[in-house]
Amino acid sequence: MWGEEDVSSGKAAKDENFPVGSLLISRQLRPHVQAYYDFARVIDDIADSETLSAEEKINRLNGMEAVLCKDVPAPDRSDVWTARHLYNSFLETGVPFDTATDLIIAFRQDAVKTRYQTLEELTHYCRYSANPVGRFLLSLHKEGPDTVPASDALCTSLQILNHLQDCKTDLIKLDRCYIPLDLMQEHHVVVEDLLADKASFALRKIFNILLDYVDALNKEAEDLPRLTHDRRLRLESAVIVYLAKFLAQRLRNEDPVAGRVKLSKKDVILSVSKSFRYFM
C-alpha cells in the first residue's frame, strides 16, 4: 500500500518497503490505518501460510470476511478480532468495505493459483491485491475520484516491484511465480530458472520488460500528489512515488535472483527531500 504500502503490498503486509503507519498520516487517522493494516497482515499471513492447505486457507479467509461484513460473533482469537476492529473503523469513517473484501478476493486466489499466463492477468490480480489499499487511503482522507487512476497505477507498480523482489523466495516457499509465463516462453525461460544463483541474460530481459511497464505506471502515478488535497497525504504519496522509482532503478541495476533487492537509506532520504515541495 502506498501509505501499505505493500499491504502494499497488498504481498499486502509483509516485508514492507514503505511502512503503513507512516508519521506523515495525521494522528487522528492513524488508528484507522492501523486497523486496516492489521487486518491485511492477518489475511496475507493466512494466504501465505506454508502449513495450511488451500481449503483451510479459503475457509479461514471466508471466516474473516463473515466477521468483517456480517457482524457475526467472532471467535476469541486475536487475528479474527482484527476484522471486528476494521468493521468498527469502516462504520465510523464511511470507508467502503470493498477496500478490504477485494483483498480477500486476491488472497483466495493466492490459495489456489500459483502461475500467471500474461501481464494482463497479473495486472487484474493487482486490481484486487494492491489497488484497494490506495483506494482505502483516498477514501479515508475524503479525496475525490480523480485521484483513483493515479493511485491504482502506483499500487500496481508497487505490487509488481514486490513480485520482482521476491521472485525467488515466492517460488521456493510457496511455489508461486508471478512472472508472466508468456514472456518466459517467448524468451525461452522456465520457471525453475528463478532458482539459479543469478539471473540469466534472457531472464534479465524479462525483468526489464516488466520494469518498463512499471516505469509507465510510475509516470502515471506522478499525477497523484498534484491531485491530492490533504497536505499530509499529498506528501506521503509523493514520497512513495519517488521510492517506487528508486526501487525500479535498483531492480534494473541489481539481480533479484542473486538476492533480495532493497531500498537504501539514501533512497528514502532523497525521496522525502524531493517530496517536500508538495507539502506547500
Position 9 pLDDT exceeds 60: no
Q: Which three cell numbers mark 8?
A: 502494499
pLDDT score for 278: 77
3-state secondary structure of 277: helix
CATH, domain range 30-279: 1.10.600.10
pLDDT score for 280: 67
- DSSP of 121-142: HHHHHHHHHTHHHHHHHHHHTT
Position 16 pLDDT exceeds 60: no
Q: What is the pLDDT of residues 150-201, one digit of tens each?
A: 999 999 999 999 999 999 999 999 999 999 999 999 999 999 999 999 999 9
| 241 in Cβ contact with 264 (< 8 Å) | no
pLDDT score for 147: 98
Q: Tell me the domain boundaries of the chain.
A: 30-279
Q: Average pLDDT of the chain?
A: 91
**Alpha carbons 240 and 246: distance in angstroms, whole number:** 10
Nearest residue to 272 via CA among 29, 24, 5, 27: 24
Position 256 pLDDT exceeds 70: yes
Res. 24 pLDDT band, cuts 50 70 90 = confident
Residues 78-89, mean pLDDT to the nearest whole number: 89
pLDDT score for 258: 97
pLDDT score for 2: 55
CA atoms within 13 A of residue 226's CA, in its CB half-sphere: 7
Position 74 pLDDT exceeds 70: no
Position 25 pLDDT exceeds 90: no
